[in-house]
Chains A and B, each alone.
Chain A
């Protein structure tokens, strides 16, 4: 079956602009999480959505937001972009819950460069 799909793969934005990234989870998966990866901070959890509800949030400013649609597809938005937002943004999906048989699958990521 198809994996986690993220679009766009690469994008360049200017400081002060906003950006929207999209993620299509594996079919049947209802949990979608977002992570930011930078050389300095490593992999950091942004937020998780499950059945259209945000159920966990990392320590990021309010400029970072997300949502999940009824088909489990998710988007994240970053407003008023700063140079430090340049990063690889990774989306991850998993099935219904948080039981031990669950596996979390990652997409290939969206590379955001802010200039």
Chain B
């Protein structure tokens, strides 16, 4: 079946450190890939997406590249801020199908210390 695997958290970093959150997927076919972020007490916000292999999604300094050969979509940021503290979810969906269903990973809590 289709699934998403994320690295276990929490990830604790100091401000201005480099961030990587690993995400790999298993899918039949060619999914689109997403990173969503959830701040405390809030819903999910789309952070970035990539719809085909080798696409790079980017937003607010975050980047992720769709790697078909390694079935990965790792999230990176060069210099994190305290305000980036949140839970990050990797997800996949199949465009062109008959549904907008998203399949999520378990989420990774990021805590950035000043």
Query: What total of chain B residues lie within 8 Å of the partner, measured CB to CB?
Result: 26
| B58 interfacial contact with A, CB 8 Å | no
Instruction: State the majority secondary structure of interface residues on A.
Output: strand
Query: What total of chain A residues lie within 8 Å of the partner, measured CB to CB?
Result: 26
Instruction: State the majority secondary structure of interface residues on B.
Output: loop
On chain B, the residues within 8 Å of A105 by CB distance are 46
Task: Report the Cα distance A58→B103, complex, angstroms.
Answer: 11
**8 A Cβ contacts from B24-62 to A:** 32, 36, 42-46, 49, 51-52
Among A35, A100, A108, max chain B CB count under 10 A is at A100
On chain B, the residues within 8 Å of A18 by CB distance are none
The residues of A with any CB-CB pair to B shorter than 8 Å are 4, 6, 31, 33, 35, 42-43, 45, 48, 55-56, 58, 90, 92, 94, 98-100, 102-109
